[in-house]
Structure 1
Amino acid sequence: MACTSNRKEAAEAKTYEKDLYLKNANKDSIRRVIIELQNSPEKNDLLFDLSYHFYSENKPAEFRYWNHEAFKLSTALRDTLKIAEANWDLANFYYRKEKIDSAFYHYRKAARFYNIKGEKFLYARMLLNIAILQKNIKDYSNSEANTLTALKIILPLKEHRQIYIGYNSLGILYNELSEYENALDYHNRALVTAKKISDGYLEANSLNNIGVVYEKLGLYEKGLDYYNQALEIEDVTTKHVQLHAMIKDNTAYSKLKLGKRHGVLSGMLEALQLREQEGHEAGIVINKLHLGEYFFTEGDTLKSRKYFYEAKELAENMHLHKDILQSLLFLSRTDEEKSNEYLRDYINLHDSLEQNERRVRSKFARIELETDEFIAENRYLNEQRKWIIGGAGGTVFMVLLILVIWRQKSKNKKLELEQAQQKSNEEIYNLLLAQQNKLEEGRHQEKERISRELHDGILGKLFGTRLMLENLFGKSDLESLESKKKYLNDLRLIEEEIRTLSHELNAEFFSPKQSFLDVLQEYLAEQKKIGRFELLFVNEEQIAWDELSSEIKINVFRIFQEAINNVIKHADANLVSITCNKYDDRLEIVIFDNGKGFEVSEKRKGIGIKNIKSRITRLDGHLNLSSDRNGTQIELEIPIKRYE
């Protein structure tokens, strides 16, 4: 009994310690304690708990920090499953941020690792996530293939919730492809699965989806029957407000299509009220489109146009492109004055979305290809390894024998070669040393020259000009005015001298001994100590910094200096996150601090932000600045135009 009690007390103490870390993980002292813990699977579990905690709290910078730490430790421990889990978490994070290409990349990495370790169920779950992303960009064939592959794995395991997701995804996919027979088949399979696990929410969701298919077929009476069945499920009306509102709205819309009037407007308005209470903006857009159609059929074009316009505005804020297109079509029918303008916007947006979908599909294909090449290479290497191991056993004795004989014969010759090599190395070293001394001597002489130019030339001229202008202060006779003009011209010539020296110094802004990334990291490390904040610096994709033009490197470095100076002087932050990416022909840089923030629209006395804006304009780039009490984020997008 004593042993059991001790074990229980130890477990309770461990739980208390974990809760303490979760509550205080953003404090510098706790953060240092966690990082300094001895590397172990237990520490790794704690890092994942912290990462998931901040993901749930929707704190991106903190999540990225702890996810990065978990990924590093998982790699150090060679824990493939944990590496897969870190990629899974990061993919979910990017999916929430609507960066679907990054989400796809990390889902693929997670899937690859799970497949290597034989974790078929988790591999299938990743395939389902990948399939949903592919469906969203209309890559229907690959979405279908991945979903069916996942179902083949999951069905024998009887993992009913994942089976439901697979069936439901296929039902939605076939509905979008107008393959209504297949859509009804898979939605009915999903309905059977939901009943099997007694999940009222999933059952109502499938009944609603079947109703939507019949609605697209124009069989509104059948659709109404399924909507009514869904509304009879008690869990829907009491626990799942968003689903309840969607079914109420769909019911009213089907009645409208049947030409019925009773209960249509009240049903739509009730659904809208529920969605507004829940803050379900995507649902509100659909509701307002349906209300616009209702008033259009009633001949009230003023109200109809009002709802269509509100739906368009909200859809644009939410980036719901499908709903934006639908609202533009409706507005073109109800607003005769702007009809052509709305149709033109519809065509432009439709073409833009198609181009973007093609671009993302192409990127998905490249990621797939890279993954397949990696798998194929691994297979090839494994086969090669088998052949090598098999053949090595038969030849090792002969090789050793030949090696002994050869070593005996060549031993003396090798010693002679080593002596000759040593002598050559010494000569080469002496030459390099002499060359280095010459370079250092040249740099020193150049510094002395510039120093003399500043001290003997520019400073002397400035001093003399200043004295003469002071003597002329207050004098306004013709001779004094002419003298002032002369000395102002002298100042302009001094300005030209300073500019010339500046250009000469600029050429040596970065030392040839150090790469740009080394200089930047050295600077950030120094500022981290000065500002007493934690720094997360992520160079996600390999950027060839040293191949970029000097103009880009210098201005980017100066922007980092301005941003970090602002953090140290004003932000009172304990965490700074910097992420650098390269997409096609542009750099994307995000600088985030979790300080006290500031009012972006307020005019400020300092010139730091103005300097950043000026530099980004000089590079033909784009700046997005956001700040609130949770911190400040600077997003930079810089086109890569010039290479050295």
Structure 2
Amino acid sequence: MKLNQILSSFFFICAIGGYSLLAAEKATINNLNLGYALVMEPTDSLAMIKKQIGAFAKKKEYNKAILYSKKLLDQAQKLADSSTIANAYWRQGFYFKKINQLDSAFYYFNQAYILNLSINDSIAIGDRLLDMSNIQKSLGDFNGGMITAIDGLTYVEPTNEVEVIIGLHQTISVSQKELGNYNEALRWNEKIFTLLKKKPTSKIAESSSYIIMTTRANILASQKKYQESILILDSIANKTLGKNDLEYARAICNKGHFMWLENASNAESEALLLASLAIREKQNSATGLISSTIHLAEFYFNKDKKKALSYAEQAFENALKIKNDVALLEALDLILPLKHALGVDATTDAILYSKTQNNLEKTKQAIRAIYAATKYDNEQLEKENLKLGAEIAIREKQTILAFSSAAFALCLIGFIVYYKNQQKKRERLEQGYKTELRLAKKIHDELGNDIHYLMAKIEQEDESNASVKNTTLLQNLDHIYRRIRDISKEFTPINTGDSYGDDFAALIKSYGSNTTKIITKELPLDFWNAVPKQTKIELFRVVQELLTNMKKHSQASFVAITCAKQKNVYTVKYVDNGVGFNPNEHSSGLGLKNAENRMQAIRGNIIFEPKPSEGVSATITFSI
């Protein structure tokens, strides 16, 4: 191919390369209102309506139970019966949870909580906060669930309502375990056993002791104390054998999984996992089947990938059946690398993963917003009451005015020092960028033009006398020229103004190709408005570094990048299905070090979760 054809192709390639939750809930409620109009009979007593609700619930006709719970609410409101109004809200929340519409369930539990606050029913308040925290926990919002549960304890700890207190302790213990705080998880779990010793006849001791014991076994296993964990599970299995099949299946499933974690060659693990699955299939327990098939997929992951994929897909189907997004993501976390390893196209699964993850995040945020607004209103009411009493103590506060002034002065001085240091840091970083730009321009304008000139000169020579060596030389020179143009592109100034979001999205999409699919989502126009200029630059470069590294080394067939923000905290999640790497062998890699240094410069953080042969996951977080 002639040189001018090569260059024409090169420049052409360069040119080419260069519903919300509230709406959904409203629709659901409107549909229920249509049905409600058909069941409303104003003469029905509250007791009669409750009886009808119970009959529907017994037959698992939960949609009808929701309709009649709304009917109960309207009748109770006409009678101004606060207790029944709260009960009607709770019933709607309970049955929405039964059909796995967790956002609607949380909304109605919250409505009941608000009414219980107004009538100062501490036990009911704690009970509703327990319902709400359990929904947050089931969605994977462990921080939010723990905060809600702790709020609930402030209301019920002074009472003798042991069942509610233990339920709140259980939620906190599980949340701490999932957050990796194992000692704290054990501490809260131990509190439950202390309460049970004081109240051995409580209902919780009879109905939920196995769950509490299983939680303790899970925490110990997370600490790699497998033998202690297995002893607890053996105790549960011995007590439930022939008496409670579901609890027995749970115990032997966990035991088989922990034995495998301790020793992947343990022959008993497979038998226990399969025995548990058989029981759960007989009982038709969807949640139990998800747990069994997930553990079996993990067990066979490195032994028989086809069998592992089969179990992972069974978990996926059951997760779809009960509309459990958390379980769906857990199944897809196994399906994607397994299909990649088996050479099966996983594009649809990758898109579903991104969509499910986004929907789950929206649900978490919507639920947090519901409770945060209620909590704020309650705190404002408390503040107004306190303000009336605070007026009496004004004179006493005057005595500390001098100390407050001194503290303010010290804070002001500290702020000024901090601001000056930050200003110097920004100046140093900006100087570094200017140096990079000068270097890039020099390489492009001088060295690049010289090489281009040399290429043109060689092209003028008689092609009939050109040797293979000259052809190779031309190809190498062309390669060098491409690299120089890439350097110039890499250090191009970044627009941090209104078009930053478009440029950021264009950067991500530019790394896509026929062999690599890039998945991201469209962000609101004002998503990046509050982010400082320097932070935008550093984030842009870090994402560019990740994508460049992916392009060079990972052999990934898909990449997913999602951006989210909560208050003043921004999170950028990067996932690919490439070859991954061993962090122990690449701990000093220049690209990774550059990314870490850039995030440290803006007081941010980047966490890599590489798995050899399974891809790379990186989580970027920073605050503004």
TM-score by length of 1: 0.49
Cα gap change, 1:231/1:200 in structure 2, threshold over 3 Å: closer, same or farther?
farther
Q: What pairs up with 1:538-557 in 2 under 5 angstroms?
A: none
| Aligned-partner SS, 2:158 | helix
Q: What pairs up with 1:492-641 in 2 under 5 angstroms?
A: none
CA radius of gyration, larger in: 1
Q: What pairs up with 1:1-80 in 2 under 5 angstroms?
A: 35-36=42-43, 43-80=45-82
Give 1:96's aligned amino acid: K
1:319 to 323, 341, 354: 323
Return the offset for 1:247. Answer: 0.8
Return the offset for 1:222. Answer: 2.6
Equivalent residue number for residue 142 of structure 1? 144
Instruction: Find out whether 1:258 has 2:262 as its counterpart.
Output: yes
Cα gap change, 1:45/1:219 in structure 2, threshold over 3 Å: closer, same or farther?
same
Distance 2:349 2:224 in 1: 25
- How many corresponding residue pairs? 347
2:362 to 356, 359, 362: 359
Give 1:265's aligned amino acid: E
Equivalent residue number for residue 481 of structure 2? none
Cα gap change, 1:174/1:345 in structure 2, threshold over 3 Å: closer, same or farther?
farther
Larger RCO (CA within 8 A; separation ≥ 6): 2
Q: What pairs up with 1:44-123 in 2 under 5 angstroms?
A: 44-123=46-125
User: Deviation string for 1:323-363 (max 9, x for gaps)?
Assistant: 43343343444445655744x55654443344223322332
Equivalent residue number for residue 211 of structure 1? 217
Distance 1:338 1:84 in 2: 54
Return the offset for 1:61. Answer: 4.9
Cα gap change, 1:347/1:273 in structure 2, threshold over 3 Å: closer, same or farther?
same
Instruction: Find out whether 1:224 has 2:227 as its counterpart.
Output: no
Distance 2:177 2:233 in 1: 17
Cα gap change, 1:311/1:238 in structure 2, threshold over 3 Å: closer, same or farther?
same
Cα gap change, 1:381/1:51 in structure 2, threshold over 3 Å: closer, same or farther?
farther
Distance 1:76 1:239 in 2: 47
1:303 to 300, 304, 307: 307
Instruction: Find out whether 1:285 has 2:287 as its counterpart.
Output: no
Distance 1:256 1:380 in 2: 54
Asked if structure 2 preserves the Cα contact closer than 8 Å seen for 1:325 and 1:349, the reply is: no
Return the offset for 1:278. Answer: 1.0
Return the offset for 1:92. Answer: 0.8
Cα gap change, 1:323/1:381 in structure 2, threshold over 3 Å: closer, same or farther?
closer
Distance 1:289 1:194 in 2: 33
Distance 2:231 2:164 in 1: 27
Distance 1:210 1:256 in 2: 18
Return the offset for 1:35. Answer: 4.2
Return the offset for 1:284. Answer: 1.4
Asked if structure 2 preserves the Cα contact closer than 8 Å seen for 1:191 and 1:202, the reply is: no
Distance 1:140 1:310 in 2: 26
Return the offset for 1:307. Answer: 2.4
Distance 1:143 1:335 in 2: 34
Distance 2:384 2:158 in 1: 32
| Aligned-partner SS, 1:157 | coil
Return the offset for 1:108. Answer: 1.2
Cα gap change, 1:193/1:238 in structure 2, threshold over 3 Å: closer, same or farther?
farther
Cα gap change, 1:264/1:77 in structure 2, threshold over 3 Å: closer, same or farther?
same
Distance 2:213 2:305 in 1: 34
Structure 2 residues not aligned, in runs of 5+: 1-38, 389-624
User: Deviation string for 1:411-463 (max 9, x for gaps)?
Assistant: xxxxxxxxxxxxxxxxxxxxxxxxxxxxxxxxxxxxxxxxxxxxxxxxxxxxx
User: Deviation string for 1:1-27 (max 9, x for gaps)?
Assistant: xxxxxxxxxxxxxxxxxxxxxxxxxxx
1:371 to 349, 371, 374: 374
Equivalent residue number for residue 461 of structure 1? none
TM-score by length of 2: 0.50
Give 1:53's aligned amino acid: A
Give 2:371's aligned amino acid: E
Distance 1:378 1:200 in 2: 40
Distance 1:71 1:313 in 2: 36
Aligned identity (percent) is 16
Q: What pairs up with 1:365-444 in 2 under 5 angstroms?
A: 365-368=368-371, 370-371=373-374, 375=378
Asked if structure 2 preserves the Cα contact closer than 8 Å seen for 1:214 and 1:220, the reply is: yes
Asked if structure 1 preserves the Cα contact closer than 8 Å seen for 2:252 and 2:272, the reply is: yes
Give 1:219's aligned amino acid: K
Cα gap change, 1:159/1:318 in structure 2, threshold over 3 Å: closer, same or farther?
same
Distance 2:358 2:338 in 1: 29
User: Deviation string for 1:466-510 (max 9, x for gaps)?
Assistant: xxxxxxxxxxxxxxxxxxxxxxxxxxxxxxxxxxxxxxxxxxxxx
Return the offset for 1:78. Answer: 1.0
Return the offset for 1:179. Answer: 1.0
Return the offset for 1:74. Answer: 1.0
Cα gap change, 1:119/1:186 in structure 2, threshold over 3 Å: closer, same or farther?
same
Return the offset for 1:139. Answer: 3.7
Equivalent residue number for residue 197 of structure 1? 200
Q: What pairs up with 1:156-171 in 2 under 5 angstroms?
A: 156-171=158-173
Asked if structure 1 preserves the Cα contact closer than 8 Å seen for 2:325 and 2:360, the reply is: no
| Aligned-partner SS, 1:156 | coil
Give 1:204's aligned amino acid: Y
Give 2:180's aligned amino acid: S
Asked if structure 1 preserves the Cα contact closer than 8 Å seen for 2:100 and 2:323, the reply is: no
1:172 to 171, 174, 187: 174
Return the offset for 1:110. Answer: 0.6
Q: What pairs up with 1:448-527 in 2 under 5 angstroms?
A: none
| Aligned-partner SS, 1:36 | coil
Distance 1:287 1:112 in 2: 39
Distance 2:330 2:386 in 1: 55
Return the offset for 1:281. Answer: 1.7
Distance 2:385 2:186 in 1: 45
Asked if structure 2 preserves the Cα contact closer than 8 Å seen for 1:194 and 1:202, the reply is: no
Equivalent residue number for residue 453 of structure 1? none
Asked if structure 1 preserves the Cα contact closer than 8 Å seen for 2:49 and 2:72, the reply is: yes
| Aligned-partner SS, 2:364 | helix
| Aligned-partner SS, 1:239 | coil
Return the offset for 1:126. Answer: 0.5
Cα gap change, 1:313/1:379 in structure 2, threshold over 3 Å: closer, same or farther?
closer
Give 1:186's aligned amino acid: W
Which has the larger displacement, 218-227 or 271-280?
Answer: 218-227
Asked if structure 1 preserves the Cα contact closer than 8 Å seen for 2:126 and 2:153, the reply is: yes
Equivalent residue number for residue 242 of structure 1? 246
Asked if structure 1 preserves the Cα contact closer than 8 Å seen for 2:70 and 2:92, the reply is: no
Return the offset for 1:377. Answer: 8.2
Distance 2:85 2:129 in 1: 17
Return the offset for 1:368. Answer: 3.4
Cα gap change, 1:51/1:222 in structure 2, threshold over 3 Å: closer, same or farther?
same
Equivalent residue number for residue 276 of structure 1? 281
Cα gap change, 1:182/1:119 in structure 2, threshold over 3 Å: closer, same or farther?
same
Distance 2:181 2:379 in 1: 35
Distance 2:283 2:368 in 1: 38
Distance 2:300 2:365 in 1: 42
Asked if structure 1 preserves the Cα contact closer than 8 Å seen for 2:245 and 2:279, the reply is: yes
User: Deviation string for 1:357-389 (max 9, x for gaps)?
Assistant: 33223323443355357657877999999xxxx
Cα gap change, 1:53/1:356 in structure 2, threshold over 3 Å: closer, same or farther?
same
Distance 2:275 2:76 in 1: 51
Equivalent residue number for residue 536 of structure 1? none
